[in-house]
Chain A
Amino acid sequence: MLPIDAAAHSSRWRRRHPVDKAVLGLGLTVLAISLPPWPGAALVLAAALTLLLGPAGVGARKLWRAYRVPLGFCVTGALILLLQIGGPGGFVTLADGGPARAGGLLLRTSAASLGVLLFAFTTPMSDLLPRLVKAGVPAPVVDVALVTYRMSFMLLDSMSRIRQAQAARLGHTTRAATWRSLAGLGATAFVRAFDRASRLQAGLAGRGYDGTLRVLVPEVRISRSFVVASAALLTGLVALTLVLERFLP
């Protein structure tokens, strides 16, 4: 199981309805990209970080491991905004207002990423996918997504073991050997995925498979108080941004 999903399964908010967490987490993300980066996105970032490390109970190390991935992309992208091509100063010069734009972009992406991570770290995919049918996603697509989700872990596990076996047989010592090993890995993933699919089909056919995959979804209700509190927090962040915008530089 992947670390974010594993953390979501043991999260304090695991038993909350996905809609509760979507209102809060994705609401923060929407605010992060809609409000001005300073002070709006900075406030969203602080709120998301507090919620993640506080009430949601996500471990700081787990969060950093997941967070550094989008952060790396953001920093690379933001660095480009520091430069300007053409103009009187030369072919490549430092852009006027580049640091402000780059800083704003960093704030916005960091805050938006934390909003999504708040949702991802508290909502297992197995809780979310079956409920997408109610949100209007066609059932066959949800079924395919469910099979993809469940099969991915088995394939990733197989790939990890095959990689270990290849390494033990000196499969990664030279460049040529690495390429051979990688090709074997990719081909084995295909063969195993299709073999697994045909075995699943045989098994399901024996159990009266009629084309729909029924899964048990834990019955939880949308918490009105949680949604109201989330909406209040989001409104408060908007109001605070509008107020601070007048006083801060």
Chain B
Amino acid sequence: MHIAEGFLPPAHAIAWGVASAPFVVHGVRSLTREVKEHPESTLLLGASGAFTFVLSALKIPSVTGSCSHPTGTGLGAILFRPPIMAVLGTITLLFQALLLAHGGLTTLGANVFSMAIIGPWAGYAVYKLLKRYEAPLMVAVFFGAFVADLSTYCVTSVQLALAFPDPGSGFLGALGKFGGIFAVTQIPLAVSEGLLTVLVMRLLVQSSKGELTRLGVLLQSKRQQPRTEKTATSEKPEAPEAPEKPEKSETGASA
């Protein structure tokens, strides 16, 4: 759930922007370093950003029967790592604000903090923790996506409660109100996003082993599953290989 344009008072909008800035700057430095070392990563990162943007446009059925959009932060963090997700998430949120009127420019800092920072970091932490304790890949993926989604909405509730404290019970009362509406109704949606992420990851493991190995996802699973034959040398994304049968390129028009 994006906080709409103008919803936060100016002081809050600025404060959340300042809070997000170090994470985004760190992500920008990581991205710039990556692009300088591997110029071809620009295209891979752009593709990752487009994937994140498109993923957030999918409509998922909720357990309650309603329909919502996945945040995509969990899958993004597992595939591309939280620092990169801070930048890709910021770009995605900017596009959503200007192309879809979801979110806003004055609330960009607050939305970045919940969706591009806390969500990815919380989901990735849970994913890594479960992997460390040798949980199956899909269990770790489910809980990573679930926690990323739910933490995003919990942070949004905190942001709104801080901006609009309840006249009777202050911040806690407001947190109950906003949390009750946004976070609790979000639990079924977080379950839905976890399930969807598992299904997507299962298909990716079958169809895109090469990419997942380059991104480091299957390197971690290989430690758990010694039968996997493919080897991976690094967790860092490397230069994508040239296709075996290069097709006619459309780069001139699209780049």
Binding site for B on A (CB under 8 A): 2, 4-5, 26, 29-30, 32-34, 66-67, 69-70, 73-74, 76-77, 80-81, 83-87, 93, 95-98, 101, 105, 108-113, 115-117, 119-120, 125, 128, 138, 140-141, 143-152, 154-156, 159, 175, 178-180, 182-187, 189-191, 193-207, 209-211, 213, 215
Contact = CB atoms under 8 A, between A and B. Distances in A.
Given A141-B31, A201-B43, A201-B242, A112 B5 contact: yes
B19 interface: no
B91 A144 contact: yes
B183 to A, nearest CB: 13
B49 interface: yes
A112 B106 contact: yes
28 contacts: A32-B6, A33-B8, A69-B101, A73-B2, A80-B177, A80-B181, A84-B168, A84-B169, A85-B177, A108-B6, A109-B4, A110-B6, A140-B42, A141-B91, A150-B46, A182-B196, A183-B199, A183-B200, A190-B51, A193-B48, A195-B243, A201-B240, A202-B242, A203-B250, A204-B251, A204-B255, A209-B39, A210-B39
A80 to B, nearest CB: 5
Contacts of B31: 140-141, 144
Closest 5 CB pairs of A and B: A147-B46, A112-B6, A203-B249, A211-B39, A183-B199
B144 to A, nearest CB: 15
B58 interface: yes
A148 B43 contact: no
B35 interface: yes
A149 to B, nearest CB: 7
Contacts of B8: 33
B247 interface: yes
Nearest to A75: B4
Interface residues of B, number: 86
B40 A201 contact: yes
Contacts of A84: 166-169, 173
B101 A193 contact: no
Contacts of B241: 198
Given A5-B99, A113-B104, A197-B240, 13 more contacts: A26-B105, A76-B181, A97-B167, A105-B7, A108-B7, A146-B255, A154-B254, A155-B50, A187-B204, A191-B207, A193-B51, A198-B241, A205-B242
